[in-house]
Structure 1
Amino acid sequence: MQIKEFLGSIVLDKNAYELGKVSNVEFDPVTGKIDEVTLTLQKNIFSKDELVISFDDIATIGAYVILNKEIPKETEVEEAEDGSVEVEIEEKE
């Protein structure tokens, strides 16, 4: 898969709840491996909230990007000074 195909991919949590789309990818400059993936969250038409996840939180990449974690629908988010949003991902067993 090429990076241009990855960007814009729909992201689902492990329960198949649609979170949003891949909007950015951060690479380690030394190893060339993906460190973090930024998602534009699916909230409403005017929302531009973002969620940064570790590449390790991704279970599979194919027609959809599927996380190995559950993201609660009503997650409390904290807005940073730069306008980005940080969400704590809780791992459920």
Structure 2
Amino acid sequence: MRAKQFFGITVLDKKVNEVGKVEDVDIDTETGNITTLIVSLQKGILSNDLIEVGYDKIATIGDCILLNTEISKEEEKEEADEEDPKQVTIEVEDE
């Protein structure tokens, strides 16, 4: 399977809940192996978050990708918040 064939494939967790769709892949340049899938979590019509799923978390690959782990909605939100480059925290000190 070529890397470009991963794009858009539906990702399901071990309880067959839809996690999202493959948006991108990270490849180890030395070995040529895929190390991480970047999965887009659809939140709304115009917005989405991304999470990284390690290749070791994949159980099977076919018409969809089945993970060997469960991903809860809370985990998805936490990972997406950590990865969101648009999110900035500003601390203000009172004088």
* Same structural fold, with TM-score higher than 0.5 when normalized by the shorter chain: yes
Q: 1:27 to 1:18 in 2, by over 3 A?
A: same
Point out the more displaced range, 2-11 or 72-81: 72-81
**For the structure 1 residues 33 and 19, does the alpha-carbon distance in structure 2 shift closer, same or farther, using more than 3 Å as the test?**
same
Q: How many Å apart are 1:45 and its aligned residue? A: 1.6
Q: 1:47 to 1:2 in 2, by over 3 A?
A: same
Query: Which sits farther off after the overlay, 41-50 or 28-37?
Result: 41-50
Cα distance in structure 2, aligned partners of 1:31 and 1:13: 27
Name the residue aligned to 2:52.
52
Alpha-carbon distance in structure 2 between the residues aligned to 1:48 and 1:2: 25
| Matched AA of 1:27 | I
Residues 38 and 52 in structure 1, CA contact (< 8 A), matched pair in contact too: yes
Stretches of structure 2 that go unaligned for 5 or more consecutive residues are 88-95
The residue number in structure 2 matching 1:87 is: none
What TM-score do the two structures reach when normalised by structure 2?
Answer: 0.77
The answer to which of 69-78 and 49-58 deviates more is 69-78
Cα pair distance change 1:44/1:28, threshold 3 Å: same
Identify, as 1 or 2, the structure richer in helix. 2
Cα distance in 1 for partners of 2:60, 2:11 equals 10
Q: CA deviation at 1:83?
A: 3.4
Compute the displacement of 1:80 (Å): 4.3
Q: Aligned pair in 2 of structure 1 residues 14, 81: CA closer, same or farther (>3 Å)?
A: closer
Structure 1 residue ranges without an equivalent (≥5): 85-93
User: Partner of 1:88 in structure 2?
Assistant: none
Report the equivalent of 2:90.
none
Cα displacement (A) at 1:81: 6.0
Rg larger in structure: 2
Q: Give the RMSD, CA atoms, in angstroms.
A: 1.8
Farther-moved stretch of structure 1 (72-81 vs 15-24): 72-81
